[in-house]
Structure 1
Amino acid sequence: MTRRAGNTRGGPSLELRYASGFRAASGLPHPRMARRAEPHHTTPAARVTISVVSHGHGHYVRQILLDLEKAAARIDKVIVTRNVPEADVLSGLALSFPLEFIDNAQPRGFGANHNAAFRHCGSPWFLVLNPDVRIGPEAIATLLDEAAPTSGVVAPRVMEPGKAAPEPHRGHLTPFEIMGRWVRRDNDRAQPQWVAGMFMLFRSAAYGRVGGFDEKFFMYVEDADICARLRLAGWDVTVNEAVRILHDAQRASDHHWQHLAWHWASLLRWWASSPFWRLVFARGPSAPLPVSGQPATASQSARRE
């Protein structure tokens, strides 16, 4: 990994201890640094490590970094993975946060790239972010500050150019759910069962506990799979209805046979997977999620320990 330094910030280090080689911040100060609370003491604002993967889309990366600069106060670092060789279009950017790079010798899948970035995460939150989205200056702070204690992953509503309504909430990813998208365009749900990979704000403890993305998937369905495993582990998958981002969706599988083949291969793997069937039999594919902010049940709490 190469590092391009931004302004560094002081502060207590976080203890990072997770199994399976993953690291996640505990969110608690080191015992030696504990102090008696003062009358006007406030809890430090949560910070986030951001992972962005470029497939030769440096111009998109440059634009998202400029968007992130407006939210720099809550950013611990940004890690840019260059999955294929590309020209450096980021030189000359003046950023207030540390910027690090991972340059792959061979292209890797969506999950493998973000798992590799997570190994460098030292903050209590980890954001998986596509370079082809646009976000407002308060989006990240609002999602961090309003996240429920039960939320394992949080997302905004997603808008696309030329559309007045946000993308519908996603149901359990079955063949019938996919066909329903083609037949009915107004199939929004009160709560999602999974959120799409262009913007996934993970609690680092939850991401580390489930082992991150399943790298057996390549480019597609990793997002549905990790959301299923988070739910089965007792975490909520939640959307903040007040926060919106703009996604310039490319949908490569609609135009390129190789991407279409990868998409269908991932779907077939998903439909044969344990998390898919455990959700079908445990709760049913149409069962609603717990509402964000509700207390966890005893069984949910036990699974998180």
Structure 2
Amino acid sequence: MNVPFSSPSSLVVSVISHGHGPCVQALLEDLARFSAATVRRVVLTQNLHEAPPKAPAAGWPFILQVVKNERPAGFGANHNRALTSATEDFVCVLNPDVGLGGHDPFAALTQTAALQGAGCSYPVQLDEHGRVQDSEREVPSPLALLRRRLLGRSETRVDWVNAACLVLPGAVWRDVGGFDERYFMYCEDVDFCLRLRLRGLRLVKAPVQIIHAGQRASGRRLNHLAWHVRSLWLLWRSPVYRQAQHLLTVTPATKGTIGAP
């Protein structure tokens, strides 16, 4: 699954920490060890007060910019601010609890994102036990949620992918305008992917894997559940969601289809 690629292009990576200090330290060390030839710059946004990451003795092999928020901001707002002036060829939105699995996924991700008609590229996500996670999802309509949550039916379409690891050409990121900051948390990646597809761009799976051990907090914390419900309501009332209904009916993407529209 992990194919060697060359990477002549530049990449900036945006990471947000919500008190994820140990995870961020491990991720930066992974990036330094495996992705020094691919990653030019990392923007780390500390959404909560915490100690800065500790640099290795030789220093970081990429530019590390640490942004300390005086007040916590939402997922989309933080990434938008981190990437607002990016001049690199490609941008990456990356979760702090991601592991690279002993290799550099970004050479393949940037080359895949550079394919004609690609809006973004994404890797296969594995959990810490090597099981494939459900990062490719059907748009969360009320009917789809009913089938998934209550009837236990699996999804067969790839309408959107989660934003634990997305790589986009910088020009596409600027054209789309980043994330919609009205989504404080949850559904911003649904909206973002739908906006890419409404522009005729594809979500393309790259032949690489990452480790993503994240857990959904919306099922455990009331504030996260409230954010999730609010974001779903915002999504369902949005023009993006309404416009996408025709698109998803006419050109449904199928799970397992690399580069499906």
What TM-score do you get using the length of structure 2 for normalisation? 0.87
Aligned length: 249
Larger radius of gyration: 1
CA distance in structure 2 between the partners assigned to 1:227 and 1:83 by the alignment: 24
> What secondary structure does 1:81 align onto?
strand
Identity over aligned residues, as a percent?
Answer: 34
Shift of 1:187: 3.2
CA distance in structure 1 between the partners assigned to 2:49 and 2:145 by the alignment: 35
Aligned to 2:83: 118
What TM-score do you get using the length of structure 1 for normalisation? 0.75
Query: Over aligned residue pairs, what C-alpha RMSD do you find?
Result: 2.3
Aligned to 1:187: 155
CA distance in structure 2 between the partners assigned to 1:285 and 1:275 by the alignment: 16
Shift of 1:165: 3.4
CA distance in structure 2 between the partners assigned to 1:244 and 1:129 by the alignment: 14
Evaluate the alpha carbon distance shift between residue 72 and residue 163 of structure 1 in structure 2; reply closer, same or farther with a 3 A threshold: closer
Aligned to 2:122: 155
Shift of 1:234: 1.6
Aligned to 1:105: 70
Aligned to 1:87: 51
Alignment of 1:46 with 2:13, yes or no, is no
Q: Contact 2:7 / 2:111 at 8 angstroms: preserved in 1? A: no
> What secondary structure does 2:203 align onto?
strand
Aligned to 1:234: 200
* 1:177-256 to 2 correspondences below 5 Å: 177-182=144-149, 183-184=151-152, 186-189=154-157, 192-240=158-206, 242-256=207-221
Alignment of 1:275 with 2:240, yes or no, is yes
Shift of 1:293: 6.3
Aligned to 2:228: 263
Alignment of 1:144 with 2:110, yes or no, is yes
CA distance in structure 1 between the partners assigned to 2:147 and 2:26 by the alignment: 34
Shift of 1:180: 3.1
Q: Contact 1:150 / 1:293 at 8 angstroms: preserved in 2? A: no
